Amino acid sequence: MTPAGEGALPADDGGARVSLASPTMIDVVDVSRRYEGDQAALDHLSLHVAEGECLALLGPSGSGKSTLLNLIAGLDRPTEGTVTVGGTRVDRLGEAAAARYRRATIGLVFQFFNLLDDLTVADNVLLPAQIAGRPAAGSRRRAAELLETLGIDRHAQAYPGRLSGGERQRVAVARALMNRPPLLLADEPTGALDTASGAEVRKLLVDLHAEGQTIVLVTHDEVLAAAVATRTVRLVDGQVAA
Amino acid sequence: MSAIRTVVRGAQRRRVSTIVIVAATAMAVTATVLAGLLLAASSAPFANAFAAQHGAHLTALFDAAKTTEQQVAATASQAGQAAGPFPVATVAPKQDGGPGPGLPPLTVAGRADPGSGPIDRVTLLSGRWARAADEIVIARTNLRLPAGTTLTVANGSTLKVVGEGRSISRTAQGWMTPGGVAALGQTGWQMLYRYADAGTEAAMTAHRTALGGGAQTQSWLGVRDDAAHRTQLFVPLLSAFGLIGLALAALVIGNVTAGTVASATRRIGVMKALGLTPAQVVRACLAQALIPGLIGAVLGIVAGDLLAVPLTADVAELFGTVPMSVTPWVDAAAIVAAVLVIAATAAPAGWRAARLRTVDALAVGRTPAHGRGRLAARLAARSRLPRPFSLGLAQPFTRPARLLAMLVTIGLGTAAATFAIGLAVSLRHVQAADQKPNTSADVLVLPPMDAADRTDPRAVLDATPGTGSYYGRGPAEVAVDGLRETARGTVTTGDARAAGYEMLDGRWYTAPGEAVVTTGFLTATGKHVGDTVTGTGHGPLTLVGEVFDGSANNHLYTDAASLPGPQPALEWYIKLAPGTDRTAYLVALQGRNLQAEATQAEGADGTLVILDSLTALLTALLVSVAGLGVLNAVVLESRDRVHDIGVHKSVGMTPKQTAVMVVASVGIPGLVGGVAGVPAGWLLHHWAVPAMAHGAGIRLPQSTIDVYAPGLLAVLALAGLVLAAGGALLPAGWAARTRTAVALRTE
């Protein structure tokens, strides 16, 4: 397993490049996100995450956890405030630059895996590298290495629909790590899993963090947060709870 | 009912796809209306126009010097209906500022209005009817004199063209007020008759005889036969376009409907979970498809009726008839057909959705069935193509039915374009072949102005530097046993092979006593190449070849020496020696008192221009319908895959790469549809063009049919790709702009 940084950024990633010299990986300052009807999902929230840290965002449904994760991932833009990741002002990125930023900087793990059903496990894992235009041979080696490390190499040519929930989430993690991202964002990674599978994924995240991976974890699962996170932040109504 | 309303409201939420459904249905119904009009207009166009105008079965012209108005009026009692007498004058006008000598003589009838009488209700095609004595309405023929043109007649007075009209019965070449005709110098009286029994030559002969020998008459049967030539030439063409239009429209509407129902499957699952019965599901599916479909159909009818105006004008011009007005039964038939196609597609799709277990409908939702397209996805993943491109290429294989519909849509669009382009090239080749005898030479020496002057220019031509080869050509009447009337003949002196007549069979004649003839001649006489014909005034003529003639006449070509008697006035066609300056050569001939001029192509005639415009309009329409069909399919596919698009974007796919993926998804259908559509269009062309010629009584040289060069076919095959990519551009832009977070939230 390769932790954050190590050779993860291709030379042609332009504006999406992360400044590795920054001790702060994520700097969210006074961010608000309002949707139609002026309802604030996030309300003047500020947050800082250091490189190598594993932060767990806890809170009830509708508290703004996933919205914050989307802002950090460049999937959405704040209505106000700034989001800086590795020195890049994510809130200013256009769609194309945000895509390049995600390629280079972010690995995303979702509650419902978001694997492509018509691609094999190996092709799902390879996808971020292929989209980034990485050399094929190196990418295949990297995918094989990840599948082996995560214990799912025997399923490489299977389709996601045939795997258990835990196995699918491992595939999703492998895909998220494919481009060696400095930052892993996980949105309820155990939320759709049974207890045994949840434990597998929990161990996986612990191992990743132990190897130096910066992780931001959104979860309802207090056990997961306690096992993995170095720090927890609780959100209520779009604000950090006192 | 509230559950059904809920399902139907799904369409309101999916605004983009609903708009595309409405637009595609509208375009398809527009094509249906126009195709229906084409088929209606191509069905007995002369008979319909004749009935609409209450055409004259017999047009009689009485000499005003020998017959009084009362005597002419009295002939009305011999027919079922009669109109007239109308004063008639013959004028030979000259167009002010126009080139050349004068216009052909025009027979002008004095009519106070175009069509209030019981017979020959002239259709005013442009401008207005004549109100003053110096105003004239011109019958539209190949001679186009637009409103505003000023004509000068022999007595020095001027006439202003104020409109163009068309009489199906061809009763006159122009119309003025009765006072205007009188001012020009009336020469006759015109009477128009309609009879209960006018269907046979015998009956018309009897009616003609009853009028006495003092009248020049014109039977509607002759006019009808003449019109039939034009009609038969173009009916296969317009019918082919009409049938393609109907097929394409049905396909697009069916595809749109099936896609609409399929995209509602998950919603139906939710409704079933809440208690919707299977019957309610079917009704809901029908309603969901019919509501946007009907809105589109109504819009399509409006657009079709608007586009029908230029279309029917072109068709009428082609047939020499009058434009059809908006035809309610075509509109009604188009709506009914659209509703039937929508219902026939939506009901089975709805029934399938109704039979689907609720849990499956909820689970499967809008995603394609597992297992489909995996081989394509594997192959694409292993290709060296950029990943967004290869992902797109594999996409359509997950939905085989939609892929097939897209293939057929693109195939039909490409076939239409192939057919239209081939047709345009063929018609140009026909025109070129027809004009070749006039354009293959460099210089033309006309016969002397004085008809009595029989000076042979050959000595001058031989003596003038620069003369290459030459031959003489002139008209002759040739009596042929077995033909009621003499055949039109052309006699030549010298080696007329240089004229480049296109041979359909046999060879050009090389000696007196041999002749080549047109297809019309062979048809009329029942002879074949190799036979011999005889006739008064000449010896036996051996038919050694069949020559192409676009006019379908009985025409015979032979050496001047084959026909004894006085030599006709010949035109001489000269091919100059290489390097000769034509202008200097012309000056040299004119200096020797020869009337010489440069030959030139006549340019595209009016019919070709109309055909070009009609073909362009129909092709644009069919290609647009096909493009909208593709657009709809890609919109549905993109909507169905919006979540996958979100996943791609979440792992770093840029908007540009997303657009490439969506456009690439139509690459294989575009290529395969194009490659399949080209032979279909080729076959249609190779059927329709000879059929057009056969209908007109002519045979075409193979060179006018074999018009598709390999390069052109390759370009046309790629047209399918262009059509597909054109249809995919809008949804590709939409997919590129879709916000990742929104796409990921979409179920």
CB contact under 8 A, B650 and A75: yes
B339-396 confidence digits (pLDDT tens): 888 888 778 877 877 777 766 666 554 445 556 788 888 888 888 899 999 999 998 8
Q: Please name which of B716, B688, B689, B719 lies closest in space to residue B701, comparing C-alpha atoms.
A: B689
The residue of chain B with its CA nearest to that of A173 is: B651
Residue A103 forms part of a structural domain: yes
- Quote the pLDDT of residue B4: 54
Mean per-residue pLDDT, B598-616: 65
Q: Which residue of B has its CA nearest to A128?
A: B651
What b/e string do you get for B197-222 counting C-beta neighbours within 10 Å, with b at 16 or more? Answer: ebeeeebbeebbeebeeebebbbbbe
Is residue A162 in a domain? yes
CB < 8 Å to B653, chain A: 99, 131
Contacting residues of B for A159, CB less than 8 Å apart: 370, 374
Contacts of A175 in chain B (CB under 8 A): 651
B352, B285: one domain: yes
| Closest residue in B to A123 (Cα–Cα) | B381
Quick one: which of A111, A72, A74 has its CA closest to A221? A111
Q: Looking at beta carbons, which residues of chain A come within 8 Å of B368?
A: 118
Q: Look at B650 and A132 and tell me if their CB atoms are within 8 Å.
A: no
Q: Which residues of A touch B393 (CB under 8 A)?
A: none
Task: For residue B388, give how far its alpha carbon lies from the nearest alpha carbon of chain A (Å).
Answer: 7
- Nearest CB among A103, A119, A159 relative to B652 is that of A103
What are A210-220's pLDDT values in tens digits?
989 999 999 98
B589 has a pLDDT exceeding 70 = yes
- Give the CA dihedral B217, B221, B223, B227, nearest 10 degrees: 180
Residue A72 has pLDDT above 90, yes or no: yes
Decide if B5 touches A, using CB distance below 8 A.
no
Q: Assess if residue B205 is contained within a domain.
A: no
In a domain, A1, yes or no: no
Judge if B39 and B83 occupy the same domain.
Answer: no
Partner residue facing B647 (CB), from A116, A123, A133: A116
pLDDT of residue A8: 33
Q: What's the total number of domains in chain B?
A: 4
Name every chain A residue with its beta carbon within 8 A of the beta carbon of B647.
114-116
Residue A132 located in a structural domain: yes
**Mean predicted confidence (pLDDT) in B393-417:** 87
Between chains, do A127 and B387 touch, taking CB under 8 Å as contact?
yes
Do B654 and A99 count as a contact with CB atoms less than 8 A apart? yes
Binary contact (B648, A102; C-beta < 8 A): no
Could you tell me if A41 lies within 8 Å of chain B, comparing CB atoms? no
Whether residue B654 and residue A96 make contact (CB cut-off 8 A), yes or no, is yes
In Å, how far are A131, B403, B410 from B672, measured between CA atoms?
27, 11, 9
Residue A212 lies in a domain: yes
Confidence of residue B33 (pLDDT cuts 50, 70, 90): confident
If one compares A89 and B158, the residue with the highest pLDDT of the two is A89
List of chain B residues whose C-beta atoms are within 8 Å of the C-beta of residue A118: 368, 372-374, 377, 394, 398
* Mean residue pLDDT across chain B: 79
Confidence of residue B100 (pLDDT cuts 50, 70, 90): very low
Any idea what the CATH number is for the domain that residue A122 is in?
3.40.50.300
Predicted pLDDT at A50: 93
Evaluate if residue B669 carries a pLDDT over 70: yes
Q: Kindly state the average pLDDT of the residues B313-329.
A: 68
Task: Check residue B58 and give its pLDDT.
Answer: 82
**Residues B456, B567: one domain?**
yes
- Identity of the residue numbered B316: A
B185, B246: one domain: no
Q: Which residue of chain B comes nearest to A100, CA vs CA?
A: B652
- Is the pLDDT confidence value at B227 over 90? no
Report d(CA B137, CA B160) in Å as an integer.
9
Say if strands B443-445 and B571-576 run parallel, antiparallel, or are unpaired: antiparallel
Is A56 part of a structural domain of the chain? yes
Between chain A and chain B, the number of residue pairs with CB atoms below 8 A apart is: 84
- Other Cβ atoms less than 10 A from the Cβ of B333: the count is 15
pLDDT at residue A231 greater than cutoff 90 = yes
User: Could you say which of B366, B396, B428 is where a domain stops?
Assistant: B366
Minimal-distance CA residue of chain B relative to A70? B741
Residue B382 touches chain A, beta carbons under 8 Å: no
Across B27-43, average pLDDT: 74
pLDDT band at A12 (very low <50, low <70, confident <90, very high): very low
For chain A, the domain total comes to 1
Quick one: closest CA in B to A106, which residue?
A: B651
> B274 φ, ψ to 5°?
-90, 0
Q: What are phi and psi of A238, to 5 degrees?
A: 80, 10
Q: What are B470-483's pLDDT values in tens digits? A: 888 887 878 888 77
Would you say residue B401 lies in a domain? yes
Separation between Cα atoms, residue B217 and residue B213, nearest integer Å: 10
Same domain, B238 and B353: yes
Which chain B residues have a beta carbon less than 8 Å from that of A117? 367, 370
Is the preceding peptide bond at B457 cis, omega within 30 degrees of 0? Answer: no
Contact criterion met (CB < 8 Å) for B648 and A127: yes
Report pLDDT for B1.
47
- Partners of residue B374 in chain A, C-beta under 8 Å: 118, 159
Instruction: Provide the pLDDT confidence category of residue B560 given band limits of 50, 70 and 90.
Output: confident
pLDDT at B389: 93
Residue contact A102–B398, C-beta within 8 A: no
Instruction: For chain B, say whether A142 makes contact (Cβ under 8 Å).
Output: no
pLDDT value for B176: 87
Nearest to A99 among B384, B398, B649 (CB): B649
In a domain, B320, yes or no: yes
Residue B346, in any domain of the structure: yes
Class of residue B350 by CB neighbours under 10 A (exposed 0-12, middle 13-18, buried 19+)? buried
Same-domain status, B458 and B594: yes
Q: What is the span of the domain harbouring residue B561?
A: 442-598
Question: Can you give the pLDDT at residue A11?
Answer: 30
B653 Cβ under 8 Å from any chain A Cβ: yes
B380/chain A closest Cα distance in angstroms:
10
* Chain B touched by A170 (CB under 8 Å): no
User: For strand B467-478 and strand B571-576, is the pairing parallel, antiparallel, or unpaired?
Assistant: antiparallel
Tell me the chain A residues in contact with residue B379 when contact means C-beta distances shorter than 8 Å.
none
Residues of B in contact with A126 (CB under 8 A): 381
Rounded Cα–Cα distance for residues B610 and B600 (Å): 22
Quick one: closest CA in B to A125, which residue? B651
What residues of chain A lie within 8 A of the CB of B378, using their CB? 120, 123
Q: Write out pLDDT tens, residues B151-203.
A: 877 777 788 888 888 887 788 888 888 888 888 787 888 888 888 887 777 78
Nearest Cα to Cα of residue B399 among B376, B382, B379: B376
CA B131 to chain centre: 36
Q: Which of B178, B194, B210 is the last residue of a domain?
A: B194
Region at B367 (left for phi over 0; alpha for psi -120 to 50; beta for the rest) = beta
Please indicate, yes or no, whether residues B450 and B553 belong to a single structural domain of this protein: yes
Decide if B215 is inside a domain: no
For residue B616, name the pLDDT band (cuts at 50, 70, 90).
confident
Residue B580, pLDDT > 50, answer yes
Do residue B587 and residue B458 come from a single domain?
Answer: yes
- A35-61 pLDDT tens trace: 876 678 899 999 999 999 999 999 988
Task: Say which of B650, B736, B744 has its CB closest to residue A102.
Answer: B650
Instruction: Inspect the interface and report whether the beta carbons of A131 and B377 lie closer than 8 Å.
Output: no
Instruction: State whether B422 and B475 are in the same domain.
Output: no
Compute φ and ψ for B448, nearest 5 degrees.
-60, 150
Q: Summarize pLDDT for B623-648 with one digit per residue, the tens.
A: 887 888 888 888 888 888 888 999 99
d(CA A93, CA A139): 27
Strand (E) or helix (H) holding A34? strand A24-34
**Residue B571 falls within a domain, yes or no?**
yes
Residue A160 pLDDT > 60, yes or no? yes
In a domain, residue B652? The reply is yes
Give the pLDDT score at A13: 35
> Which pLDDT score, from 0 to 100, does residue B654 have?
94
Q: Which two tokens stand for residue B271?
A: 């409704």
Same domain flag for B728 and B656: yes
Instruction: Give how far A130 is from chain B: nearest CA, Å.
Output: 6
> By residue range, what is the domain housing residue A104?
14-240
A27 pLDDT band (50/70/90 cuts)? very high
A169, A41, A20, A18: which is closest to A102 by C-alpha? Answer: A18
In chain B, positions 12-41, which contact chain A (CB-CB < 8 Å)? none
ipTM, interface predicted TM-score of the complex: 0.84
B568 and B662: one domain?
no
Chain B positions in Cβ-Cβ contact with residue A78 (cut-off 8 Å): none
pLDDT at B521: 84
Q: Could you give the CA distance from residue B435 to residue B415 in angstroms, rounded to a whole number?
A: 30
In a domain, residue B312? The reply is: yes
Structure tokens given for B360: 């499956």
Out of B370, B387, B741, the one facing A161 most closely (by C-beta) is B370
A100 contact residues in B (CB cutoff 8 A)? 652, 654
Q: How confident is the model at residue A2 (pLDDT cuts 50, 70, 90)?
A: very low
User: Are B434 and B446 contained in the same domain?
Assistant: no
pLDDT value at B218 more than 70: yes
Bridge partners (DSSP) listed for residue B445? B572, B596
pLDDT at residue number B121: 81
Where a domain ends, among B547, B575, B598? B598
Chain B contact set for A114 (CB, 8 A): 643, 646-647, 650, 744
Average confidence (pLDDT) over B675-699: 85
Mean pLDDT confidence for A202-207: 89
Q: Is A144 on the interface with B (CB under 8 A)?
A: no
- DSSP assigned state of B57: S
Is the minimum CB–CB distance between B745 and chain A shorter than 8 Å?
Answer: no
